[in-house]
Amino acid sequence: MEDTADTADTQQADEAADGKKAAGAERRVARLTKQISSFAKAHGGAEGQIAYLGQRGARIVLVGEDGEWGDLVAPTYAMAEQAVQKSGITVHESFDGEFAAKVKTGPYEWKRMAGIQLGGPRNT
C-alpha cells in the first residue's frame, strides 16, 4: 500500500511543478505581449520577425511605423509566437525587403557600425 501512496504523492508533486511551470510561461507570454503592444502604440503600429536563437530562445525584432526598432528575447520560440499573435502585429518570415527598409538608422547606429569595422578597437 505504501508504494501506491508514494507513487500518488510523486505524481501530485510532478503535476504541481508542471502547473507552476505553465503559469510562469503564461506570465512571460503576457509580459512580452504587453511590451510588444506598448512598443506598437508608441510608434504608430509595429511589425515583427521572430528569429530562433537556439537554447537561448527566440529574438523578436520589432519595427515601428515611424522606423524606430527594438527587440525582445523570449525563452522559447513558441512563447515568442504566442506573444506576437496575442499582440496582433504583422509577423514576417524574414528580415529583408520592404520590412527591413522600414528601419531608420541614425548617427549612433552608423557610428557604431563604422567603429566596429573601421578604426574601432581590435578584437584581440
Is the pLDDT at 97 greater than 70? The verdict is: yes
Q: Checking phi first, is residue 54 left (phi over 0); if not, alpha (psi -120 to 50) or beta?
A: left
Note the pLDDT of residue 45: 96
Under 8 Å between Cβ of 46 and 39: yes
- Confidence label for 50 from pLDDT (cuts 50, 70 and 90): very high
Per-residue pLDDT for 87 more than 70?
yes
**Does an H or E element contain 44, and which?**
none
Q: In Å, what is the CA distance from 41 to each residue of 3, 34, 93, 98? A: 57, 10, 22, 21
Mean pLDDT to the nearest integer, 34-62: 95
| Mean pLDDT calculated for residue range 40-51 | 96
Residue 4 has pLDDT above 70, yes or no: no
